[in-house]
Structure 1
Amino acid sequence: MSRDATVRTRRVFYIPGYDPIHPRRYRELYRKEGAAQAAISDYDLALSAKAAGGGPYGWHVAGDMDGAQTQADFEVLVWSDIVRDSMAQGIIATYLQLARTAATYIGSGALWRLMKLRKGPVIAALYPVLFLLAQLALALGVAYGIGKLIGLVLPAWVGLAGLAVVPVILNWFRKKDGKFFAYYLMHDYAYSAQSKGEDPPELKARMADFGARISEAFQGDVDEVLIVGHSSGAHLAVSILADLIRAGRVHADGPALAFLSLGQVVPMVSFLPKAYRLRSDLAYLCTRDELTWVDVTAPGDGCAFALCDPVSVSGVAPDTGKRWPLVVSAAFTQTLSEARWAELRWRFFRLHFQYLCAFDRPGDYDYFRITAGSQTLADRYEGRTPSGSRIERPVNKFTSVSP
């Protein structure tokens, strides 16, 4: 089909970030926030069960916007089981993981380079290190105090019994991690750091499966295949799409291919010493005319590398021929009302998911128009200039694309 044709049918593949939660969360988020955005923007969205045989997990959306009707099938490309397995660490193992992760980012110099981009995600990376160390210091302090009290009335060596309180306190913090997110974030950053940027074998195999699922969509009667990569899912999508195009599985006479990266944290991986594959894939994908790639972030999202061109800052942009991504700001302070922004501005994790939610003052970014509207991603952003405040300077120390 031509790239300017009206979209009537669409396949959407959503690749989550490092998230252990069941994918039904994303369906319910789409249902709730889509209804809210439809009411604000005066269009219709209707969710229903996905067609039988249409993939492991997803849903169907019928859209009625601007006088056009569309049908979209969503599929969540699930790797939450891999995330859960990687998080199944005991307390001691987590502290060892902390030491290895800190050594990787600090020892390689990646941390200092990342701080030159955006301090928000670097602070988010340092937070679990500092908070876990604070937990340990508190536990040891309490143990020392108990030991001193016991030592006043009993032989000094009996005071060592105070150490028994250490695992009790650390276990309490771990059980409350749903409020603190220290263990969660530690496992997140450690997952990529453990192999210094290489894809772990189990993730590499899963990404190949994702590529096969996406490839099948090109054989169907659809107008657009849209890949949405959120947070860590963005860099997975980069490699998956690069592999598909290299293998000749995307054809000019097939459905339009669109890639929407949201709240990306690509530099957290591409700045690591052994992220050869990711850097190679970034350098390759940014030149291809088989797809449209729009990267949406917002300075208000402290967990993303906002307005950082992931190709350029990684130091792999070619001298000529770079086409992608188009870096666009979701501009939370403008697209959310003052009241809504005041409500959300300190809810950092919620803001990291705002790209998938309703805006009460929507601009040219509307997740639901993109995924269920009648325009291709290419048409929607045709002629759109990139954000003037984007960061493009190469900062990465490691720019090699092969060992």
Structure 2
Amino acid sequence: MQREVTASKALCPASEAELAEAIASAEGPLRILGGGTRAYGRPVEGRPLTTAALTGITLYEPGALTLVVRAGTPLADVEAALAEHGQRLPFEPMDMRGLLGTEGAPTIGGVAAANVSGPRRVQVGACRDYMLGVRLIDGRGEIIKSGGRVMKNVTGYDLVKLMAGSHGTLGVLTEISFKVLPEPEARAVLLVEGLDDATAQRAMTAALNSPFEVSGAAHAPRGVDGAPVTMIRIEGFAGSVRYRTERLKEILSRFGEVAVETDPERTAAGWRWVRDVEAFHDRPGDVWRLSLKPSEAPEVAARAEPEGALYDWGGGRLWLLMPEGTDLRARLGPFSGHATLIRASEPTRRAIASFPPQPAPVAALEAGIRRQFDPRGILNPGLMG
């Protein structure tokens, strides 16, 4: 029987069929929620509908590196199940609770719906690249299945990619199939301190352009101890990591003294700090996430005049801490990329579009796709507007 969370009047269907019925019978807009931890975008006026009761791993074949899991399953449960077999989600999903001040538990459906991809994206790709198949309910209340459990099955593969990053505006995910990867045997992080942003950008580019399989490249103008630090991560078999570490030290030595950290706990903590943008957790202000050409990142950051910055993806992802209410797009003007408002007050999110405005032809295409999937316009209406 469908549960209703009385305190928030949120619909909490206990099965895919109940979720389909809840959407089909909805008399007005619905605010789609997973764990409720990724609260950004324009505020949605609608009845909350959560997938929190749709939990559980329905299939896990470690030997085939495939996992099928219901959308409401907590991300922590998925990661724990994989860790028992020495495996992981390749795309290193971010935990946004500290940055946004939200509570609850991130869900795997929320990760997929937002295409959440962390520092390792520079090597392995994005969340969508590991989604093999999905089940979802569209705005009519119809159940749709697309994709399969193996990479060879490309039936509906474009639809799988379409759902990644749609933020619940096209359909509500109920189940996702993933390809997973083995956990690396060893990890090393090369650290260069004291670089200005432009020099750090050149150092990250040098590392990423090398043949030594860098799995993370980040720069913090203000690191944990307050000093600038540039971080290069490599992972893999222990012997390979040792060899690549020495070669990368030679490449990076022209930028400054290179230190190497190999302690598993310290290296993991350092990259969580980058992944979750911990530098901004306890600091007031709006947080913007920019995707742009790495070579232009230092100049764009300087033009923004932020109160804080963090470079990830070798500079391809730039996090900026701005004074409250700043329209960063207006301040920057045109640049080769786009800016997303991730953290701001509700009045600011109403006044400034969180997601970057699209050119008219692209906006028309998106509107047409939404009409096909959600003809009544009830799924997270206005969230990405």
TM-score range, shorter chain: under 0.3
- Larger Cα-atom Rg: 1
Q: Greater relative contact order: 1 or 2 (C-alpha under 8 angstroms, separation 6 or more)?
A: 1
- Structure 2 length as normaliser, TM-score? 0.24
- Structure 1 length as normaliser, TM-score? 0.24
